[in-house]
Protein backbone atom coordinates (compact mmCIF):
# COMPACT_ATOMS: atom_id res chain seq x y z
CA UNK A 1 0.00 0.00 0.00
CA UNK A 2 1.25 3.48 -0.76
CA UNK A 3 1.47 5.36 2.50
CA UNK A 4 0.77 8.99 1.69
CA UNK A 5 -2.63 10.55 2.00
CA UNK A 6 -3.91 11.76 -1.35
CA UNK A 7 -5.85 14.99 -1.42
CA UNK A 8 -5.76 15.93 -5.11
CA UNK A 9 -8.27 13.96 -7.15
CA UNK A 10 -8.52 16.05 -10.28
CA UNK A 11 -9.70 13.28 -12.55
CA UNK A 12 -12.42 12.19 -10.16
CA UNK A 13 -13.65 15.74 -9.70
CA UNK A 14 -13.69 16.27 -13.43
CA UNK A 15 -15.12 12.89 -14.39
CA UNK A 16 -17.35 11.55 -11.64
CA UNK A 17 -18.49 7.94 -11.82
CA UNK A 18 -21.90 7.65 -13.47
CA UNK A 19 -24.63 6.23 -11.30
CA UNK A 20 -26.02 2.78 -12.10
CA UNK A 21 -29.00 1.09 -10.44
CA UNK A 22 -27.71 -0.85 -7.44
CA UNK A 23 -29.20 -4.03 -6.06
CA UNK A 24 -28.99 -4.07 -2.26
CA UNK A 25 -30.51 -6.95 -0.29
CA UNK A 26 -30.96 -6.50 3.43
CA UNK A 27 -31.93 -8.20 6.64
CA UNK A 28 -32.70 -5.97 9.62
CA UNK A 29 -33.04 -7.20 13.21
CA UNK A 30 -36.36 -6.53 14.93
CA UNK A 31 -34.69 -4.57 17.69
CA UNK A 32 -32.04 -1.93 17.00
CA UNK A 33 -29.37 -2.36 19.62
CA UNK A 34 -27.06 0.26 18.16
CA UNK A 35 -24.69 -2.20 16.50
CA UNK A 36 -22.87 -1.10 13.35
CA UNK A 37 -24.45 -2.23 10.08
CA UNK A 38 -22.57 -4.73 7.92
CA UNK A 39 -22.17 -4.17 4.21
CA UNK A 40 -21.25 -7.31 2.27
CA UNK A 41 -19.43 -6.94 -1.03
CA UNK A 42 -19.31 -9.99 -3.29
CA UNK A 43 -16.37 -10.95 -5.43
CA UNK A 44 -16.31 -11.05 -9.21
CA UNK A 45 -19.07 -13.16 -10.68
CA UNK A 46 -21.10 -13.25 -7.49
CA UNK A 47 -23.98 -11.02 -6.48
CA UNK A 48 -25.79 -9.95 -3.33
CA UNK A 49 -27.59 -13.31 -3.49
CA UNK A 50 -24.47 -15.08 -2.23
CA UNK A 51 -24.86 -13.38 1.16
CA UNK A 52 -28.64 -13.47 1.20
CA UNK A 53 -28.39 -17.27 1.18
CA UNK A 54 -27.27 -17.57 4.85
CA UNK A 55 -25.15 -14.74 6.21
CA UNK A 56 -27.53 -11.77 6.08
CA UNK A 57 -30.24 -13.57 8.00
CA UNK A 58 -27.81 -14.97 10.53
CA UNK A 59 -26.24 -11.55 11.20
CA UNK A 60 -29.72 -10.09 11.72
CA UNK A 61 -30.54 -12.86 14.18
CA UNK A 62 -27.48 -11.81 16.13
CA UNK A 63 -28.60 -8.17 16.13
CA UNK A 64 -26.56 -6.77 13.22
CA UNK A 65 -28.29 -5.15 10.24
CA UNK A 66 -26.91 -6.74 7.12
CA UNK A 67 -26.81 -5.28 3.62
CA UNK A 68 -25.43 -6.99 0.55
CA UNK A 69 -24.62 -5.14 -2.64
CA UNK A 70 -24.37 -6.47 -6.17
CA UNK A 71 -21.53 -4.73 -7.98
CA UNK A 72 -22.58 -2.91 -11.15
CA UNK A 73 -23.02 -5.28 -14.04
CA UNK A 74 -23.60 -8.21 -11.66
CA UNK A 75 -26.80 -9.95 -10.59
CA UNK A 76 -29.64 -7.45 -10.06
CA UNK A 77 -27.58 -4.26 -10.47
CA UNK A 78 -27.72 -2.28 -13.71
CA UNK A 79 -25.55 -3.21 -16.68
CA UNK A 80 -22.03 -1.76 -16.77
CA UNK A 81 -19.81 -3.45 -19.35
CA UNK A 82 -17.07 -0.83 -18.90
CA UNK A 83 -16.99 -1.02 -15.12
CA UNK A 84 -13.67 -0.41 -13.35
CA UNK A 85 -12.50 -0.98 -9.81
CA UNK A 86 -13.03 2.71 -9.21
CA UNK A 87 -16.70 2.37 -10.14
CA UNK A 88 -17.06 -0.69 -7.90
CA UNK A 89 -15.47 1.14 -4.96
CA UNK A 90 -17.72 4.12 -5.71
CA UNK A 91 -20.78 1.86 -5.42
CA UNK A 92 -19.61 0.47 -2.09
CA UNK A 93 -18.98 3.94 -0.66
CA UNK A 94 -22.35 5.16 -1.95
CA UNK A 95 -24.21 2.39 -0.17
CA UNK A 96 -22.12 2.69 3.00
CA UNK A 97 -22.65 6.46 3.21
CA UNK A 98 -26.37 5.90 2.77
CA UNK A 99 -26.61 3.82 5.95
CA UNK A 100 -27.61 5.47 9.18
CA UNK A 101 -24.40 4.58 11.00
CA UNK A 102 -20.76 3.97 10.15
CA UNK A 103 -20.66 0.59 8.48
CA UNK A 104 -18.43 -2.44 8.65
CA UNK A 105 -17.33 -3.40 5.14
CA UNK A 106 -17.06 -7.11 4.44
CA UNK A 107 -15.53 -8.09 1.10
CA UNK A 108 -15.29 -11.60 -0.28
CA UNK A 109 -12.83 -12.69 -2.96
CA UNK A 110 -12.11 -9.81 -5.30
CA UNK A 111 -14.77 -7.94 -3.33
CA UNK A 112 -12.08 -7.62 -0.66
CA UNK A 113 -9.95 -5.66 -3.12
CA UNK A 114 -12.95 -3.46 -3.86
CA UNK A 115 -13.35 -2.94 -0.11
CA UNK A 116 -9.64 -2.11 0.22
CA UNK A 117 -10.12 0.64 -2.38
CA UNK A 118 -13.33 1.82 -0.72
CA UNK A 119 -11.56 2.08 2.64
CA UNK A 120 -9.42 4.84 1.20
CA UNK A 121 -12.59 6.85 0.51
CA UNK A 122 -14.79 6.07 3.50
CA UNK A 123 -13.85 5.81 7.20
CA UNK A 124 -15.45 2.43 7.88
CA UNK A 125 -16.07 1.27 11.43
CA UNK A 126 -14.12 -1.88 10.60
CA UNK A 127 -13.37 -4.09 7.62
CA UNK A 128 -13.38 -7.83 7.05
CA UNK A 129 -11.58 -9.49 4.16
CA UNK A 130 -13.01 -12.94 3.50
CA UNK A 131 -10.79 -15.18 1.34
CA UNK A 132 -9.41 -12.00 -0.19
CA UNK A 133 -8.30 -11.91 -3.81
CA UNK A 134 -6.04 -8.89 -4.04
CA UNK A 135 -4.98 -9.89 -7.51
CA UNK A 136 -1.51 -10.02 -8.90
CA UNK A 137 0.34 -12.82 -10.66
CA UNK A 138 0.39 -15.37 -7.81
CA UNK A 139 -3.38 -15.50 -7.78
CA UNK A 140 -3.49 -15.69 -11.56
CA UNK A 141 -1.10 -18.65 -11.63
CA UNK A 142 -3.10 -20.49 -8.99
CA UNK A 143 -6.26 -19.93 -10.98
CA UNK A 144 -4.50 -21.04 -14.14
CA UNK A 145 -3.35 -24.24 -12.49
CA UNK A 146 -6.72 -25.10 -10.93
CA UNK A 147 -8.92 -24.01 -13.77
CA UNK A 148 -7.00 -23.51 -17.02
CA UNK A 149 -10.09 -23.48 -19.21
CA UNK A 150 -11.85 -20.76 -17.21
CA UNK A 151 -8.76 -18.65 -16.63
CA UNK A 152 -6.82 -18.73 -19.88
CA UNK A 153 -9.37 -16.72 -21.87
CA UNK A 154 -9.20 -14.01 -19.21
CA UNK A 155 -5.47 -13.59 -19.77
CA UNK A 156 -6.02 -12.92 -23.44
CA UNK A 157 -8.86 -10.48 -22.99
CA UNK A 158 -11.82 -12.82 -22.53
CA UNK A 159 -13.97 -13.36 -19.48
CA UNK A 160 -12.94 -15.13 -16.31
CA UNK A 161 -15.05 -18.12 -15.38
CA UNK A 162 -14.72 -19.94 -12.07
CA UNK A 163 -15.55 -23.62 -11.82
CA UNK A 164 -17.23 -25.79 -9.24
CA UNK A 165 -14.10 -27.24 -7.71
CA UNK A 166 -12.62 -23.79 -7.11
CA UNK A 167 -15.60 -22.39 -5.28
CA UNK A 168 -17.46 -25.15 -3.48
CA UNK A 169 -16.59 -28.01 -1.16
CA UNK A 170 -17.59 -31.61 -1.75
CA UNK A 171 -20.11 -31.69 1.08
CA UNK A 172 -22.40 -29.20 -0.64
CA UNK A 173 -25.44 -30.97 -2.20
CA UNK A 174 -25.41 -31.16 -5.98
CA UNK A 175 -28.59 -29.22 -6.59
CA UNK A 176 -27.38 -26.39 -4.38
CA UNK A 177 -24.12 -26.20 -6.31
CA UNK A 178 -26.05 -26.19 -9.57
CA UNK A 179 -28.27 -23.37 -8.34
CA UNK A 180 -25.27 -21.23 -7.35
CA UNK A 181 -23.35 -21.94 -10.53
CA UNK A 182 -26.32 -20.89 -12.63
CA UNK A 183 -26.32 -17.53 -10.90
CA UNK A 184 -22.62 -16.78 -11.36
CA UNK A 185 -22.06 -13.83 -13.68
CA UNK A 186 -18.96 -12.68 -15.48
CA UNK A 187 -16.88 -9.72 -14.34
CA UNK A 188 -16.32 -6.64 -16.47
CA UNK A 189 -13.24 -6.90 -18.64
CA UNK A 190 -11.53 -3.73 -17.44
CA UNK A 191 -12.04 -4.57 -13.78
CA UNK A 192 -10.62 -8.00 -14.48
CA UNK A 193 -7.45 -6.51 -15.94
CA UNK A 194 -7.14 -4.19 -12.96
CA UNK A 195 -7.20 -7.26 -10.76
CA UNK A 196 -3.99 -8.33 -12.44
CA UNK A 197 -2.31 -5.02 -13.14
CA UNK A 198 -4.21 -2.41 -11.15
CA UNK A 199 -2.67 0.04 -8.73
CA UNK A 200 -2.30 -0.69 -5.04
CA UNK A 201 -5.08 0.53 -2.78
CA UNK A 202 -4.33 3.81 -0.99
CA UNK A 203 -4.10 3.79 2.81
CA UNK A 204 -7.41 3.42 4.62
CA UNK A 205 -8.88 6.57 6.14
CA UNK A 206 -9.97 6.60 9.75
CA UNK A 207 -7.66 3.74 10.74
CA UNK A 208 -10.27 0.94 10.88
CA UNK A 209 -9.49 -2.45 12.45
CA UNK A 210 -9.25 -5.11 9.73
CA UNK A 211 -9.89 -8.84 10.05
CA UNK A 212 -8.67 -11.28 7.39
CA UNK A 213 -10.12 -14.75 7.29
CA UNK A 214 -10.18 -17.72 4.98
CA UNK A 215 -9.46 -21.38 4.59
CA UNK A 216 -6.03 -22.98 4.11
CA UNK A 217 -7.71 -25.33 1.61
CA UNK A 218 -9.13 -22.51 -0.51
CA UNK A 219 -8.44 -23.32 -4.18
CA UNK A 220 -8.53 -19.69 -5.30
CA UNK A 221 -6.53 -18.07 -2.51
CA UNK A 222 -3.46 -20.12 -1.57
CA UNK A 223 -2.59 -20.19 2.11
CA UNK A 224 0.58 -18.16 1.56
CA UNK A 225 -1.42 -15.42 -0.18
CA UNK A 226 -3.89 -15.35 2.68
CA UNK A 227 -1.08 -14.92 5.18
CA UNK A 228 0.42 -12.13 3.09
CA UNK A 229 -2.96 -10.41 2.84
CA UNK A 230 -3.35 -10.48 6.61
CA UNK A 231 0.17 -9.18 7.08
CA UNK A 232 -0.56 -6.00 5.15
CA UNK A 233 -3.11 -5.26 7.87
CA UNK A 234 -0.67 -6.21 10.58
CA UNK A 235 -2.31 -9.43 11.71
CA UNK A 236 -2.62 -13.15 11.03
CA UNK A 237 -5.61 -14.65 9.24
CA UNK A 238 -8.42 -16.33 11.11
CA UNK A 239 -8.50 -19.83 9.62
CA UNK A 240 -11.38 -22.18 8.90
CA UNK A 241 -9.67 -25.37 7.76
CA UNK A 242 -11.39 -27.63 5.32
CA UNK A 243 -13.69 -24.98 3.87
CA UNK A 244 -13.99 -23.90 0.26
CA UNK A 245 -13.46 -20.45 -1.30
CA UNK A 246 -17.15 -19.50 -1.09
CA UNK A 247 -17.27 -19.65 2.70
CA UNK A 248 -20.69 -18.00 2.80
CA UNK A 249 -22.19 -20.78 0.67
CA UNK A 250 -20.25 -23.66 2.21
CA UNK A 251 -22.02 -26.37 4.16
CA UNK A 252 -20.29 -24.95 7.26
CA UNK A 253 -21.21 -21.30 6.46
CA UNK A 254 -22.13 -20.58 10.08
CA UNK A 255 -18.60 -20.76 11.47
CA UNK A 256 -16.98 -17.86 9.60
CA UNK A 257 -19.91 -15.47 10.04
CA UNK A 258 -19.95 -16.25 13.75
CA UNK A 259 -16.20 -15.64 13.74
CA UNK A 260 -16.76 -12.22 12.17
CA UNK A 261 -19.56 -11.22 14.54
CA UNK A 262 -17.63 -12.41 17.60
CA UNK A 263 -14.64 -10.36 16.48
CA UNK A 264 -16.86 -7.29 16.00
CA UNK A 265 -18.39 -7.68 19.43
CA UNK A 266 -14.93 -7.80 20.96
CA UNK A 267 -13.52 -4.89 18.95
CA UNK A 268 -13.68 -1.75 21.09
CA UNK A 269 -15.11 0.24 18.19
CA UNK A 270 -17.45 -2.52 17.03
CA UNK A 271 -20.59 -4.05 18.52
Partner 1 sequence: MTTSTDHGRPDPELSTLDLARGARSVSYRGETVCVIGAGPTGLTAIKNLTEHGFGVDCYERETGVGGVWNWRHDRSPVYASTHLISSRPLTQFPDFPMPDDWPDYPHHSQLLTYLERYADHFDLRRHVWFGTEVVRVEPAEGDRWDVTTRSTGGYGPERTSRYAAVVVANGHNWSPKLPTHEGLAEFRGEVMHASAYQDPAQLRGRRVLVVGAGNTGCDIATEAAQQAAHCWHSTRRGYWYAPKYLLGRPADQLNDLMLALRVPRRLRQWLFHRLLQASVGDLTRFGLPRPDHRMLETHPIVNSQLVYYLGHGRVTPVPEVVRFHPDSVELADGRQVDPELVVFATGYLPRFEFLDPKILGDDGTTGRPVLWLNAFVPNHPTLAVAGLVQPDSGIFPLSHWQSVLFARLLRLRETRPNKAAAFAATVTTRAGERYSGPVKESSRHWFEVGHADYLRALQRALHDLEAK
Helix, strand, coil percentages in the chain from 3-state DSSP, rounded to 5: 40, 10, 50
- Smallest distance from partner 1 to CB 19, Å: 4
- Smallest distance from partner 1 to CB 154, Å: 29
User: Which residue in 196, 205, 224, 265 binds partner 1 (CB under 8 A)?
Assistant: 205
- Smallest distance from partner 1 to CB 89, Å: 11
Contact 104, 36 (CB under 8 A): yes
Q: Give the nearer residue to partner 1 in terms of CB position, either 171 or 207.
A: 207
Contact 120, 86 (CB under 8 A): no
Piece of 67-75, 90-98, 107-115, 169-177 that binds partner 1 (CB under 8 A)? 90-98
- Smallest distance from partner 1 to CB 25, Å: 19
Q: Is 124 left (phi over 0), alpha (psi -120 to 50) or beta?
A: beta
- Smallest distance from partner 1 to CB 194, Å: 20
Piece of 24-32, 95-103, 223-231, 245-253 that binds partner 1 (CB under 8 A)? 95-103
Q: Give the nearer residue to partner 1 in terms of CB position, either 9 or 266.
A: 9
- Binding to partner 1 by residue 12, rule CB under 8 A? yes
User: Which residue in 1, 76, 97, 171 binds partner 1 (CB under 8 A)?
Assistant: 97
- Binding to partner 1 by residue 199, rule CB under 8 A? no
DSSP-assigned states of every residue in 77-116 = SPP-TT--HHHHHHHHHHHHHTSSSPPEEEEETHHHHHHH
- Angle ∠(239,131,242) on CA atoms, nearest 5: 45
- Positions in the binding site for partner 1 (CB under 8 A): 4-19, 90, 93-94, 97-102, 121-123, 205-207
Amino acid sequence: MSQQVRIMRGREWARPVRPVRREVLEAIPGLDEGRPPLLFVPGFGHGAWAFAEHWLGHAAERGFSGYALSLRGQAGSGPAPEATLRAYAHDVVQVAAGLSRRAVLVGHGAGALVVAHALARYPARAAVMVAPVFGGWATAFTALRRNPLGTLPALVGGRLQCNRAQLFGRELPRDEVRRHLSRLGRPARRAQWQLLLGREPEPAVGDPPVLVLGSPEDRVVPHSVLIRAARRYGSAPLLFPGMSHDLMLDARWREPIDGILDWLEKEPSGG
